[in-house]
Amino acid sequence: MSAATSTAPAARPARFGLGRTLRLGAARVVYETRVYFRAGDTVFFTFLFPVVLLGIFSVAFQGMGNVGANPDGSGGISQASYYLPGMIAAGILLSGMQNLGVDIAMERGDGTLKRLAGTPLPVMSYFIGKMGQVLVTSVAQVIILMLLAKLAFGVELPSEPEKWLTFLWVYLLGIVTAAVLGIAISRLPRSGKSAAAVIIPPLLILQFISGVYLSFSLLPEWLQTVASVFPLKWIAQGMRAALLPDSFASAEAGGTWDLAGVAIVLGIWLVVGLVVCRLTFRWIRKDS
| Contacts with another protein, residue ranges (CB under 8 A) | 1, 3, 5-7, 11-14, 16, 24, 27, 31, 34-35, 38-39, 106-107, 110-112, 114-115, 117-122, 284, 286-287
Nearer to another protein (CB atom), residue 1 or residue 151: 1
Nearer to ligand ADP (CB atom), residue 23 or residue 285: 285
Nearer to another protein (CB atom), residue 15 or residue 278: 15
User: What is the total count of residues that contact ligand ADP (CB under 6 A)?
Assistant: 2
Q: Compute CA distances 70 → 38, 41, 74, whole Å.
A: 47, 43, 5
Query: Which of the choices another protein, ligand ADP, none does residue 154 contact, using the CB cut-off of 5 to 8 A by kind?
Result: none
Nearest-approach distance from CB 88 to another protein, in angstroms: 28
Query: Which of the choices ligand ADP, another protein, none does residue 221 contact, using the CB cut-off of 5 to 8 A by kind?
Result: none
Give yes or no for residue 286 binding ligand ADP (CB under 6 A).
no
Strand partners, 77: 67
Cis status, amide bond into 13, omega within 30 of 0: yes
Query: Which of the choices ligand ADP, another protein, none does residue 12 contact, using the CB cut-off of 5 to 8 A by kind?
Result: another protein
**Which of 41, 72, 221, 287 is in the footprint of ligand ADP by CB under 6 A?**
287
Query: Which of the choices ligand ADP, another protein, none does residue 284 contact, using the CB cut-off of 5 to 8 A by kind?
Result: another protein
Nearer to ligand ADP (CB atom), residue 6 or residue 288: 288
Q: Which residues contact 92 (CB under 8 A, 6 or more apart)?
A: 138, 171, 174, 175, 178, 235
Query: Which of the choices ligand ADP, another protein, none does residue 263 contact, using the CB cut-off of 5 to 8 A by kind?
Result: none
Nearer to another protein (CB atom), residue 278 or residue 286: 286
Residues that bind ligand ADP (CB under 6 A): 287-288
